[in-house]
Amino acid sequence: MEFKHIPIMFDDCMELLDIKSGGIYVDGTLGGGGHSFGICERLSESGRLIGIDRDPEAISAAQIKLKNHSGVTTFVNDNYSNIKNILARLSIDSIDGALLDLGVSSYQLDNPERGFSYMHNAPLDMRMNAQDGFSAYNLINEYSEKELTRVIREYGEDRWAARIAKFIVQERERKPVNTTFELNDIIKSAVPAAARKDGGHPSKRTFQAVRIEVNGEIEKLENALRDFFDMLGTGGVLAVMTFHSLEDRIVKQLFANLASGCTCPKSFPICVCGNTPKGKILTKKPITASENEIKFNSRSKSAKLRGIQKI
């Protein structure tokens, strides 16, 4: 299966990054290389792109897509949360910009073998790196009812989290839950029929929550964003694209803290911490996909793009 990932809000990302031809840029979520291709097209021979992805299949696909830009590209099979170590290994002290597209790729969603989608029957997996030991199967069959409820409620923001968790535990007492369709059926039986009429597919939120937990997507996000910002040179830009409210909230709050500087409680009449602003927010409101893009790529509908510049 071809690794495809349509780069969402491509032009907006390029404009936000404001790429310098001789600069050093990081695509922390390389995917199929769509956004990276745009960055490379804007680089001169003295520029450099560092493409990071935890999925070896993404690295392989991007190497093919960017083969004409081999002189300026470096590919790293790692988690973007390790950005400081990655750049240290490459002897890079600072970067001019970075992009994080936090969505799961179309290839991962549409490839039945990966087990990300409730639309295809496959073994429960959802690992972005197949070498990782912990999978969706382990989560669904080994987490306690309380832990399952927490994951589905916190990362899926599903009002039926407790009921879904209860039904999962009841089913696995009979036999292990092995496939995406088995989990899908459990969720459908747990969510009342009246509630299934609205709000999209009943499994969407739970599958999202399981994927986030399996891959630790939220757990390290804030620290990773801070590390990326730390590695920016003065004037450098960090652009982040999110696909659900929990991620966007983390990005929004962190950018606000970096731009305000002061960490004193709001009840204090004057600042006593002495912290000064470290960044300038480039997106007062998040950039969202146009109606035309949403028609062309429905997965862009929930995307929000935010940017901050180091000062």
How does pLDDT run across 156-207, given as a tens digit for each residue?
999 999 999 999 999 999 999 999 999 999 999 999 887 776 667 899 999 9
> Which segments within the chain are labelled E, that is strand?
24-27, 48-53, 73-77, 95-101, 232-242, 279-281, 304-310
Q: Is residue 111 part of a domain?
A: no
In this structure, what CATH number is given to the domain that contains residue 26? 3.40.50.150
* Domain identity same for 227 and 202: no
Tokens of 51: 């493409």
Q: Which of 163, 188, 215 is the last residue of a domain?
A: 215
Q: Which of 193, 215, 237 is the last residue of a domain?
A: 215
Sheet containing strand 24-27, strands side by side? 73-77, 48-53, 24-27, 95-101, 232-242, 304-310, 279-281
Q: Provide the domain count of the chain.
A: 2
* Domain identity same for 161 and 240: no
Q: Which of 172, 196, 215 is the last residue of a domain?
A: 215
Query: What pLDDT, on the 0 to 100 scale, is given for residue 105?
Result: 65
Q: Is residue 118 part of a domain?
A: no
* Domain identity same for 18 and 77: yes
Cα separation, 129 vs 78, whole angstroms: 9
Q: Is residue 1 part of a domain?
A: no
Query: The domain containing residue 161 runs over which residues?
Result: 130-215
What mean pLDDT is reported for the chain?
92
Query: What pLDDT, on the 0 to 100 scale, is given for residue 265?
Result: 85
Query: What pLDDT, on the 0 to 100 scale, is given for residue 219?
Result: 85
Q: Sorting pLDDT into bands at 50, 70 and 90, what band is 114? A: confident
* Domain identity same for 239 and 211: no
Give the global pTM.
0.86
Tokens of 103: 């969505």
